[in-house]
Each structure stands twice: as structure tokens, then as C-alpha cells.
A and B are shown apart, each in its own frame.
Chain A
Amino acid sequence: MQGYLMAFIIGGLICVVGQLIMDLTPLTPAHVLVLFVVLGALLSGMGLYQPLVDLGGAGATVPLPGFGHNLVTGTIEDIDKYGFTGIFTGPLRAAAAGVTAAVVFGLIMAALFNPRG
């Protein structure tokens, strides 16, 4: 139960930060998505995102900064294994599940459904 509560609070708070950016600056949702992935990757590189994941679980991994964090941890794993080339194999390997799922489900949904407006 504690885990769910923390996921709710951490996840909710990350979204509130996104809301404040959207309401107080001219940035659009698309900008916020880009910004959050980049921020997550940077925080992860500085070692600041893993503690948030330990604390919030899915509350930190499901929001987009978690995607950025995922990219960086995957890259670092590949660098540890393969050296320099890991810099180039790591990011997309780490993003593989999310991106592939989005592409495949995107295509299926677009084939099945029409926009309702």
C-alpha cells in the first residue's frame, strides 16, 4: 500500500510541475514532453533520478522523465559492457520497448479507429 501511495504522490507531483510549465509559460504539451525527457536524462546522469525511482517506483518511471532516465541507465550499462560503442547502442536499446510498442500499437489503433473529433 505504501508503494502505491508513493507512486501516486511522486507521479502526481511530476505532473504538477508539467502543469505549471504549461500554464505559466508559452510552452505547449509537445515542448513539455521533450523538456521532461531531456531533464530526466540529465538528472539521471547526475545520479539524482535513481533515488526518486527508489522512492516512488512507477511514480517516477511512468512519467516521461523516467523515459529519459531509462535512456541514460541503458547507455551507461552498454558503455560498461562494450566501451565507447555503447554510447551509440545504449540509448535506443534502452528505449526499444517504449518506442516499438508506440509504433506497433500506434499503427494498429490508426488502422482500427477513426478520429471522433
Chain B
Amino acid sequence: MNKKHGKQSIVFASPPQVAAAATIVGPMEGEGLLAAYYDKILEDNSGDQDSWEKCESYMIEWAMSTAVKKSGLTLEDVDYILAGDLLNQLMATHFAIRSLGRPFLGLYGACSTMAESLIVGAILLDGGFGGHVLAGVSSHHDAAERQYRFPTELGVQRPPVTQWTVTGAGAVLLKAMAGNDPRVTTATIGKVVDVGLKDPNAMGPAMAPAAAETLWQHIQDTGRQPAYYDLIVTGDLGVVGKTLLIQVMQEKGLDISANYQDCGCMIYREEQDSHAGASGCASSAVVLCSHLIPQMKAGKLNKLLFIGTGSLHSTTSYQQKESIPCIAHAVSLEM
């Protein structure tokens, strides 16, 4: 039976389910809009570790262990771990996975990695290659700043279009067995889209066209209109990127403004001065794991389209004046 639908989409034959999800965040996120929903909030941005990178490793390991614990399983039951982060050579992920001792595939999709790992995990489970997959991502504001921008103590002013990288990690435990949990029903795998924007401060605006194309293709391939979903969320387009996505979809003749949100706009309060919202792998992950999945389990949300968005530039590419290639993957969760 062919599970591929249309040009870029998958409809799962026996949809894998979300057994459990866990989140951990930094102190700034812990004062934000979703403060009440996180499993753990660090007291400071180092998490008692002696580098930002170690703190990030600690967070992803904590999120993964907690997701397993919440599901009532043990690590031994996990057939594959799929994870990634923003640091060079997936440093945070690799050092965290080292101690978990499970088969592991590292993924890099920049900030789209949560969606990417859910899709690959669901493919493994639907394909019958295992019973449980642990998918997770992390990001750390200060670790990302020192790698992508400036040292954290440098006195620079951030342009208003910039977004604030989320310090946090989220993990989802997917299971193949049927139960009464949110099911991963369809997925649309995105293409790399580059509209030529070059400003590394403006990642949301660079990613919005990728999100638009993936959403458009999802609609073509599955025949589901935007109104089919109770909620469509993108990962980290931020305030500016969100506006632009609505405009691009409008230009394509679709009005998504009624049921569309962006995770990057759901994390920080206005007065926290994040500028254009949140970004980073953890932006979509902490919103999905702390807020959206629990809402589905509580029956308050039935049909969710989760679109992870990633900008795939590097420090080398922007110093060489290249534009920003972007990607977006969509995955639908339904009760």
C-alpha cells in the first residue's frame, strides 16, 4: 500500500501516537506566557553546569528521561532516539545522548528539527521498525549567541526584527501501539526555499515563504483545507514572519488568520523585550510539548497542524554574503 500522497506528503496507515511529552526551560521562558505548563524551569541560564553547551545537553537529557518516565516505560523500551540542536556538529545532543545508551540518529533541520524528528519517528513506527521512538530538540540562548552572533557580554543593540533564541528542550515519546492519545496522521516534507533575503537577524521573514510552500503543498496533497484544523502553528516565524505568512497565503487565495498561530509569539510576554518573538529549536518544541499536546489530551484541541520552520544558514555562509536557505516540515496531530 502506498502511503505517499501527492508530491510531498505522507498519510500514515497505522498512525503512531504520542505517549508522553516533557519540557524544561530557562528562567526567562519561565516568566513567560506558558510559565504554568513547563515541567521544569531552571533557576539560572547555566543550570548549574559550567558552560552554556553543557547546560543545553543537561536540558535535552532531562526532557528525554522525563518523557520516558511520564509514559511509565524505561529507556530500554526506546528503540530509537531522534534528536538535534543548533550547535556545530550537534554538540548539545551528542553529549546528552552519550549517557542514554540507545540507538540514535542525529538530525539537523535547524529550528525545524522538532517537526523533522516527529516525521522520521512516525515513519519508523508506521513502517514497523520498532515500538517506541524518542524525539527531542534543544536550544540555548547564550550558546546560540556565542556561536551565531556575538559574545554574550558584548554591549550590542539588537535590531527590532531579531528574535530571542529559546533556552529549553522538549521531548516526545512516540509509540506504535494504539491507545487514546494524539495520533500522528499525516506529514508534509518541505523543500529548501530561498527567496534571497540575507539579513541573519531576520530569520522569521526568511522562513515564512518556506512555511507557505509546505502549507500550500500539504493542502494540495491531502485535500484538507486550512479550516480542517482547529489550529495551525508554525515554529518560530516570530511577529514579522507570522504577518508575512498570512500575507503570502492570502496572495495564494487562502485566509488562515482565523486558526493560525506561531509558537514564537506564544512564549514571551510583551514586556520581556524579546523584540520579534522567540526562535530556536526549542521554540516550537516547548510550545508543542508543554501546551499543545496536553491540550489535545485534555480534549480541548482535536486537530493540529504543526509546521516546524528552520533557517539553514551558518556563520560561514552569512560571512560569505550568501542568502538564507530555509525549510519547513508539517506534521498533523489528531485525537
Classify A-B as touching or not with yes or no (CB < 8 A): yes
Please list the residues of chain A having a beta carbon within 8 angstroms of any beta carbon in chain B.
Answer: 22, 26, 28-29, 115-117
B141 x A117 contact (CB < 8 A): yes
Distance from A31 Cβ to chain B, minimum over Cβ atoms (Å): 12
Does B151 count as interface, using CB distance less than 8 angstroms? yes
Asked whether A117 lies within 8 Å of B157 as measured between CB atoms, the reply is no
Task: Give chain B residues whose Cβ lies under 8 Å from the Cβ of A22.
Answer: 157
Contact A117 B156 (CB under 8 A): no
Given A115-B142, A115-B153, CB of A26 within 8 Å of CB of B46: no
CB distance from A30 to the nearest CB of B (A): 8
Question: Number of residue pairs across A and B with beta carbons under 8 Å?
Answer: 21
Query: Are A116 and B157 closer than 8 Å at their CB atoms?
Result: no
Q: Main secondary structure on chain A at its contact with chain B?
A: loop
**What residues of chain B lie closer than 8 Å to A116, measured between beta carbons?**
45, 152-153
Within 139-157 of B, Cβ neighbours of A (below 8 Å) are at 141-142, 145, 151-157
Interface residues of B in 168-201 (CB under 8 A from A): 199
State the interface size on chain B (CB cutoff 8 A): 14
| CB-CB contacts below 8 Å: B43-71 with A | 45-46, 52
Pairwise interchain contact B156-A29, C-beta atoms closer than 8 A = yes
What are 11 of the A-B contact pairs (CB < 8 Å)?
A: A22-B157, A29-B154, A29-B156, A29-B157, A115-B151, A115-B153, A116-B45, A116-B153, A117-B45, A117-B141, A117-B152
Q: How far is the CB of A1 from chain B (nearest CB, A)?
A: 29
With a cutoff of 8 Å between Cβ atoms, the chain A residues found around residue B157 in the complex are 22, 29
CA distance A117 to B151 in the complex (A): 9
Docked pose: A22 CA to B160 CA in angstroms: 12
- Residue of A22, A28, A115 most packed against chain B (CB within 10 A): A115
* Nearest neighbor of B45 in chain A, beta-carbon distance: A117
Beyond A22-B157, A29-B157, A117-B152, 12 additional pairs, beta carbon < 8 A? A29-B154, A29-B155, A29-B156, A115-B142, A115-B152, A116-B45, A116-B152, A117-B46, A117-B52, A117-B141, A117-B142, A117-B145
